[in-house]
Structure 1
Amino acid sequence: MRPTFDFTPLFRSTVGFDRLLNTLENANRLEAVDAWPPYDIVKAGEDTYRVTLAVAGFAPEELTLDHEPNLLVVSGQKAGEETAPYLHRGIAHRDFRRRFELADHVKVTGANLADGLLTIDLVREIPEAMKPRRIEIGRAQPQSLPTTETRQIESDQQAA
């Protein structure tokens, strides 16, 4: 049995982390996990990822990729059911729908189907405005104090 965590105190004391906390809360819920089709997730580079699904028996036109904000949905639907009398059917041809939660700014760059493996390439593209930038520090010119003319007070009167 998995322990359940209460994220309520974090909701009360944080601002802007609601999406992250909702994701943690959803991952914590016990759900029936369908392990088909099997898949791998590989970090191919600093900001690139690859998801590979084993979809043997599916043609490209029977697979659908939907990229929504922060979500990738891969689904497969067989076109027609074969009516051949099988003695043993070990290759699964059932419909499926697999969801992948994506981080902010992760985009799908391509998908290929070869040898029964569907490969989906992803890249994280951080907008230029959100990237860290270096601020140049300039040298300030020393400010000179305003010059004042010094006056000498002259007196025409003589002391007695």
Structure 2
Amino acid sequence: MVTSKALSLLDNFNQLTPYAVGFDRVFDQLNTYVANNATSTGFPPYNIRKDGEYNFVIEMALAGFGKKDIEVEVADGTLTVKSVKENSEDDSTLYRGISYRRFERKFTLADDIIVKDAKLENGMLSIDLERVVPEEKKPRLITVK
């Protein structure tokens, strides 16, 4: 939850925008982060874990959702996961305690991160990410002669 104090600090931070040349993306990401978290319900829960030196996995708990109910999209450095499943209006349901609410969760990706794969198994959505590092930027061992 974003507090009013945090929003006040963001307003002060935004006043620096005209003086920070070349930081447009940073300011945009900060504004997006605050806007998304101010209205975030915390659903669905997720984990982000590192899997090796250059790989990451985002895991989202999506019990009750099928592959056709989830959309995963990458655009302009943002990974968006959202539901497209609606509650069915079944006349035979006497009590509805399980809700299939709509959600949208966004993740900002670094420029060198690509989305490799997404799979839904046993109610867990796993999104595989890879950091693509050019050979000239990878650490290398120099032999001393």
TM-score (norm 2): 0.74
Distance 2:102 2:31 in 1: 28
Correspondence 1:35-46 to 2 at 5 A: 35-46=42-53
Aligned to 2:68: 61
Cα separation, 2, equivalents of 1:86 and 1:70: 44
Kept in 2, the 8 Å contact 1:37–1:54? The answer is yes
Cα drift, residue 82 of structure 1: 4.7
Q: Which residue of 1 aligns with 2:101?
A: 94
Q: For 2:22 and 2:133, how far apart are their aligned partners in 1? A: 18
User: 5+ unaligned residues in a row in structure 1: which ranges?
Assistant: 135-160
Gaps of 5+ in 2: 141-145
- 1:27 to 1:62, Cα distance in 2 relative to 1, 3 A: closer
Identity %: 33
| Greater Rg over alpha carbons, structure | 1
- Structure in which a larger fraction of residues adopt helix: 2
| Structure 1: 4+ residue segments shifted above 4 A | none
| Offset of residue 99 of structure 1 | 1.1
Distance in 2, matches of 1:99 and 1:123, equals 17
2:113 aligns to what? 106
Give the Å deviation of 1:133. 8.8
Q: How many residues align?
A: 132
Distance 1:82 1:133, change over 3 A: same
Supply the RMSD in Å over aligned alpha carbons.
2.7
Q: 1:117 Cα deviation (Å)?
A: 0.4
The DSSP-based 3-state class of the residue aligned with 1:24 is helix
Q: How does 1:1-160 map to 2 (within 5 A)?
A: 1=3, 2-3=5-6, 4-5=9-10, 6-7=12-13, 8-9=15-16, 12=19, 14-29=20-35, 31-78=38-85, 81-83=88-90, 84-87=92-95, 89=97, 91-127=98-134, 131=137
Q: Report the Cα distance in structure 2 between the residues aligned to 1:53 and 1:82, rounded to whole angstroms.
A: 26
